[in-house]
Amino acid sequence: MDERTDPTATPPAAPDVPGPHTDRTRIRRHADRAVPERVEEFLMAGQIAHVACVDDGEPRVIPFLYHYEAGHIYIHGSPGNATLGLLRDGRSVAVAVSKLVDLVASKSASGHTANYRSVVAYGTGREIDDIAEKRRILDAMTARYFPGRAVTTDYEPATDEDLKRMRLTDIAIDEASAKMRDDGPPGPHDAEPDFPGSAFIAPV
Ligand SMILES: Cc1cc2nc3c(=O)[nH]c(=O)nc-3n(C[C@H](O)[C@H](O)[C@H](O)COP(=O)(O)OP(=O)(O)OC[C@H]3O[C@@H](n4cnc5c(N)ncnc54)[C@H](O)[C@@H]3O)c2cc1C
């Protein structure tokens, strides 16, 4: 059994990336798919962060582009953005980042599934006001989504006024879990060539 499938494996020390350390981040269903040592890798590769918090007793969730760096998820938007406004008071926030890798078809209805990589992170938000820090994060975020594009060569840099108008929130991760499925069709007849139907893996 390798470390990815051993639920008792201790994740390697990663000082910047808090792994699971309370019951909140214990993966219950398919604990064998827990990959705590890959939290940072998945966050660096993800594209959309679904950011959730509670407002006046009601759940809220909104999708954002994001940047990940050393245990912090950064999200940005206009000053009127409701989620960024709520997070200014340091309330708890949950973030889900997931990537669909394959659709997995089975010869049995209940065997249809997907291969994926996902992270759920919990933390608190803090607004960043420092213009130099805003510029650094924005440039890093742009470079992550558009590798190879260079500020000044491919696009003009943001002005200080642009950066003052942009709200940037730093979500410091308290703890995070990662889970993945990377397997074939799981149905009871999928390995039987003579059983009617079809079973396959379709990359997304
Ligand atoms: C992939 C992706 C990436 C995005 N990245 C960013 C980003 O980096 N920065 C940014 O500011 N915005 C981003 N957006 C837009 C973002 O999701 C919000 O729509 C936007 O921030 C406006 O928020 P608000 O404060 O006006 O809405 P809120 O006041 O927060 O929302 C009010 C209601 O509007 C509805 N709503 C709001 N947004 C959406 C949505 N996207 N889809 C469906 N219903 C919605 C919901 O019902 C919500 O309860 C992204 C959207 C997507 C899909």
CA 166 to centroid of ligand 1, rounded, Å:
15
Mean pLDDT of the region 43-54: 97
Nearest to 95 by CA among 71, 116, 78, 113: 71
Ligand 1 atom 5: residue of nearest CA: 64
pLDDT level of residue 14 (50, 70, 90 thresholds): low
Ligand 1 atom 38: residue of nearest CA: 62
Distance (Å, rounded) from C-alpha 180 to C-alpha 33?
Answer: 5
Nearest to 63 by CA among 48, 45, 83, 44: 48
pLDDT level of residue 121 (50, 70, 90 thresholds): very high
CA 63 to centroid of ligand 1, rounded, Å:
6
Structure tokens at 54: 């509670």
pLDDT level of residue 22 (50, 70, 90 thresholds): confident
pLDDT > 60? residue 2: no
Go through the chain and tell me how many residues it has. 204
Which tens digits make up the pLDDT trace of 78-100?
Answer: 999 999 999 999 999 999 999 99
| DSSP strand pairing (167-181 vs 200-203) | unpaired
**Among 54, 60, 62, which residue has the most ligand 1 atoms within 8 Å of its CB, making it the best to mutate?**
62
Q: Where are the domains of the chain?
A: 23-186+195-203
Ligand 1 atom 13: residue of nearest CA: 64
Distance (Å, rounded) from C-alpha 42 to C-alpha 132?
Answer: 27
Distance (Å, rounded) from C-alpha 177 to C-alpha 117?
Answer: 11
pLDDT level of residue 16 (50, 70, 90 thresholds): low
CA 54 to centroid of ligand 1, rounded, Å:
16
Distance (Å, rounded) from C-alpha 190 to C-alpha 184?
Answer: 9
CB-CB neighbours of 162 under 10 Å: 14
CA 78 to centroid of ligand 1, rounded, Å:
11
**In the beta sheet, which residues pair with residue 126?**
170
Q: Is 173 exposed, middle or buried (0-12, 13-18, 19+ CB in 10 A)?
A: buried
pLDDT level of residue 77 (50, 70, 90 thresholds): very high
The answer to whether residues 126 and 90 touch, using CB atoms and an 8 Å cutoff, is yes
Looking from the CA of residue 63, the nearest atom of ligand 1 is: 17
Mean pLDDT of the region 52-60: 98
Average the pLDDT over each of 71-80, 94-103, 150-159 and give the range with the smallest value.
150-159
pLDDT at 9: 43
Ligand 1 atom 22: residue of nearest CA: 81
Which tens digits make up the pLDDT trace of 58-69?
Answer: 999 999 999 999
pLDDT at 15: 58
Q: If you classify domain 23-186+195-203 with CATH, what class do you get?
A: mainly beta
Ligand 1 atom 7: residue of nearest CA: 64
Q: What residue type is assigned to position 178 of the chain? A: A
